[in-house]
Structure 1
Amino acid sequence: MSMIAYIGFNFPIKRNEGDVEHEYEVDYVCPDAEHLNIVKQKHFTTPYIFEILQFANPIWELTDYNKAYSPHNYEKSKKNFLDLCHSLKELLPKGDICEIYICWDGEENEDLEVELKINLNDLQIEAIEIYEKCFIRVEN
């Protein structure tokens, strides 16, 4: 099993395949059409769903546990999350939202454990903890 980070928008976007500036990639999600439909119906209000393909330090490692016991990995995940937020600030029109949902592959139908709201114009990064079964509403 692997962790999946879904991201939903109110508009279609182009994939950033091959973008070496970022430590993540937004791609069309298609690991399993059934899982996609479940996550879309159960968790998202946005119609266009993609997957955040993450590289060395995924955003779901942005936890107080890692902050205390693996600060090096916490800082890398924090940098990746800030990079993602910067990209979203440029991508999302003012007043629009996107949604992020993180879960283990195959657990898309399970209930949320954490729900966060993040405003890109007032990002309180030190207060953010991202775990599995975490839903994040990102506002611009």
Structure 2
Amino acid sequence: MSLCSYIGCNVELPLHDYDSESEDIIKIGWGFSDQEERVNVQKYQFTTPYVYDISNDWGIVISEEWATKEVCEESKVKLTELCKIMNNYLEEGDFFELYSCWIGEEADKRYGELTIQLNNFDINQIEIGEKTLVRFVK
């Protein structure tokens, strides 16, 4: 089983080539999920029309309750890069949503929800566990 992180947004994003040998920290596209999983995460978790999975091997979880310290530190780097990427695509007042869960659990009840200002948060002061919907507002 794999932990997958999904983003939902109101804008269409260019897809990353998952077959390339790229060492990018964040890959946006459909590398781990299949159509059914994306439909479920959109239906049960997101409020936006476009859904992508984002990762380079493992999802984003920043919570020592849900992950090791090493995974949390890697997730902080990934989330920081994701926010930089999304900042280029979002207009003022728009948002993107982030949701991480195990593949196949996209329709499960979520554990939590929070809203964060895209360009105004301390990565060391947030906690994002699995099955938590996070809305980043620009």
TM-score (norm 2): 0.83
Letter in 2 for 1:129: E
SS of match in other structure, 1:35 = helix
1:117/1:137 contact within 8 Å kept? yes
The structure-2 alpha-carbon separation of the partners of 1:83 and 1:136, relative to structure 1 and needing over 3 Å to count, comes to: same
* Percent of matched pairs sharing the same residue: 32
Which residue is equivalent to 1:15?
15
Number of equivalenced pairs: 136
User: How much has 1:126 moved relative to structure 2?
Assistant: 2.0
1:26/1:50 contact within 8 Å kept? yes
Which residue is equivalent to 1:96?
94
SS of match in other structure, 1:91 = coil
Rounded to whole Å, the distance in 1 between the matches of 2:87 and 2:23 is 16
TM-score (norm 1): 0.82
User: How much has 1:66 moved relative to structure 2?
Assistant: 8.2
Rounded to whole Å, the distance in 2 between the matches of 1:3 and 1:135 is 15
RMSD: 2.5
Show structure 1 runs of 5+ residues with no match.
none
User: How much has 1:124 moved relative to structure 2?
Assistant: 2.5
Show structure 2 runs of 5+ residues with no match.
none
